[in-house]
Amino acid sequence: MENSSCVAIVGAGELGRAIGFLLKEKNIAAEFWDADPAVVPGQRPLAELIPAVDHVLFSVPSWAMRAAVTGVLPYLKPDATVVSFAKGIEKDSLQTMAEMVPTLLPPTQPFMVVGGPMLAAEIVAGNDAIGVFASKNAAALAWANDAFVGEHFRVETTPDTASVALAGVLKNIYAVALGIADGLGVSGNEKGWVTAAATKEMVDAATALGADPKIILGAAGVGDLIATGYSVHSRNREVGMVIVATGKCDIRGEGLSSLPFLMARLGEKAQAFPLMMLVNRIGIACEPARPAFEEYFAHADANANG
């Protein structure tokens, strides 16, 4: 496609760089900005960069999203599309990015949230990936197709921003569970069973929160869960493995960071999700992983046979 507009990518970490890689393949100019100027030597100030672009892509953790958007907002074109790649829940508001970011923007500002299996290391290696782009703005979705569809990248689009955002939150939490399973050295058969349990809980939790189960069962949910829960490139899987290896549970990642906030949204209903509660016991309450996991399996067996 022709390079008709420049893109700003806020957050020059691994995923941000992978997004820039995808855009470069389509001959789209992308300029990076990071809160740490050392990451992007010679970066332009936001006051100079943002007014010159038509699309601002945020590739920062969910806990940094409010500050990142607030910093950009004074310089944003009225019709510039704001895109969130973050997959988490904000602490104070208990909102997903699809809920929180629009509260910071003018009502008419185009907004899009992205989910799906998009492991950054695989993208830059030239492997296939899939992005699920969600927006209520048809022009924003058309741009996503034009900007990202390529030989190794597929795009799915939907207007359901709420479900795509929640799918990303859930898959991160359950990817930690799969990382814990790997850290404990469970068999492939057992990990398959845990994956099935995670899938069921993701659908049930999303339904309880008003999301579309079809989105959860698609690329934005289960597809992303399998990619991250089984990949050596996954941060949330790594968090689970590190917890087992070190016994520490103060490891920051989207899955563990969002878990208490998701449980707060579910309220008493959270107790109906035993695998979620297991991740909370091990990853938040710091219970020893092996006995907690063995207890979980024992209860699951009892329920299956009861």
CB of 88 closer than 8 Å to CB of 258: yes
Q: Catalytic annotation on 214?
A: no
Residue in this structure with the two tokens 């296939």, named with its chain if needed: 128
Using the structure block, give the residue that is written with the tokens 């845990």.
Answer: 194
Fill in the DSSP letter of residue 218: S
Residue carrying structure tokens 């850290």? 183
56 alpha carbon, distance to own chain's centre: 17
Give the per-residue pLDDT at 251. 86
DSSP labels, 25-78 = HTT--EEEE-SSGGGSTTPPPHHHHGGG-SEEEE-S-HHHHHHHHHHHGGG--T
Residue with the larger pLDDT of the pair 302 and 167: 167
Residue 2 scores a pLDDT above 50: no
Asked whether the beta carbons of 211 and 266 are under 8 A apart, the reply is no
Buried b (16+ CB within 10 A) or exposed e, 90-114: beeeebbbbbbbbeebeeebbbbbb
pLDDT tens for 248-264 read: 987 889 999 999 999 99
77-105: pLDDT as tens digits: 999 999 999 999 999 999 999 999 999 99
129-134/111-115 β-pairing = antiparallel
Given the residues 171, 191, 214, 248, select the one marked as catalytic: 171
Q: Position of tokens 């008493």?
A: 268
- Give all domains of the chain, ordered by start, each with its CATH number: 7-159 (3.40.50.720), 162-305 (1.10.1040.10)
pTM given for the model: 0.94
